[in-house]
Chains A and B, each alone.
Chain A
Amino acid sequence: MRAGPLSNDTVIDTLNRYFVPVFVSNEDYEKAGGASPQEKKEYSRLFDEFLEKKLPCGTVHVYLIDPDGHAIESMHVANASKTDKLMAMVRRCIDRLDIPSGGPLVKPRDTSVAPPGPAGSVVLHLVSRGENTGPQGGSWREFPAENWIVLSADQAQALLPSDKPTPGTSYEMNAATATKILKYFYPQSEDPTDSPWTKVDREALKATMLSVDHGTATARLEGSVQLQRNFYPGKYSPERMTATVLGFVQWQPQTHLITSFELVTDEAKKDNERYAVAVRMER
């Protein structure tokens, strides 16, 4: 949907002019999900109404709802992902309700943004691209995947040497912190969950002190990771990934404040398929 109709200029313009668009992740509306009780109740009410009206219902669907909160029409993703079919439904709704054209009621914004973190934390942004990512990549490869990784103050400090930084020396990076980053070094997949399906078989991240200049210490990071992960959610279908990585971390030795963190795959393969992962510090 995202790389198909939801990236189509006509669809984008039509949604902004005539609708109030909203997308929801089903995980948030499950019992343990993060949506508020009122949100969950309303979502459930809408779902029940579509069911009662015998309109198409399911977890991955487009639902059109009138201004008074009642079901109009719906479409399964298999059809909704075809721009002409989605536009036909949307236009029927516009004509039926005789909606005047306007502008977007909610300001368009970046929807992948850094989450808040506690004081002293470090927020990393990870981008993963399988080979042929793009319109030609088909499902799961149409755009890159992203993760936001929040390291607590203690986890962030574990990236640094315990001793005074001296050029030429090296140290093994804290395994728990390294794993927290490297466990996301896999290409796009259908399973969106973090655990317990990801299994890091082996990881190593070694830092070599390069310099301490003008109050900034720099270390080079080199390492590798081997991990297994399911491609499909809730189904044992592990894929095996291997990657070697290179990067740099910079910090102020006086305050232990990390000012930069970069890590990128040198070589990465899922079976025989290549992919790449890049991580950099957002704040």
Chain B
Amino acid sequence: MSRRYAVIAVAALISAGASISVLPRAARAAESSGEVCVAPKVAVPRLGDPAQWPAWVDQRIKDLQPMPQERKFDRIGWSRTVLGAEKLAKEYGRPIFLFTHDGRINTGRC
């Protein structure tokens, strides 16, 4: 899966010329980790020994971070504004895909 995507990505980059060079951090990480999404447990008992709490906190924070598979949305080359999208659309003869929504789709607080 990851090799296949890499081939597609390289082809896309080549066809894009010099305009694009790299995928964002999350997308790159997804490539290296594969597409299997195993959600972390929301409850993990704290260890009894306080000396182990710093390591427990570190690990819990790492485990709860958004996984690359949960950030595939970032593989899309989103324009930041409607006007910016219209400028690119006119220049390159492409249509615009506009998604309007309530809340914040990029942070999930919606």
Interface residues of A (CB under 8 A from B): 1-3, 6-7, 9, 12-13, 15-27, 35-36, 38-39, 42-43, 46, 59-69, 72, 77, 80, 90, 93, 97, 99, 101-112, 127, 129-135, 137, 143-148, 188, 190, 192, 220, 233, 246-248, 262-264, 266-268, 274-280
Contacts and interface: CB of A to CB of B under 8 A. Distances in A.
Interface of B: 5, 8, 12-17, 19-27, 37, 39-40, 42-43, 46, 50, 53-54, 56-58, 60-61, 64-66, 69-86, 88-90, 92-110
A15 B96 contact: no
Contacts of B84: 22
A20 B57 CA distance: 42
Nearest to B4: A9
A110 B71 contact: yes
A35 B82 CA distance: 10
A21 B97 contact: yes
A16 B95 contact: no
Contact of B75 (A12, A46, A60, A67): A12
Contacts of A103: 12-17, 19-20
Contacts of A131: 42
A65 to B, nearest CB: 4
B57 A246 contact: yes
Contacts of B21: 107
A18 B73 contact: no
A278 B104 CA distance: 19
Contact of A24 (B39, B70, B100): B100
Contact of B95 (A18, A188, A275, A276): A18
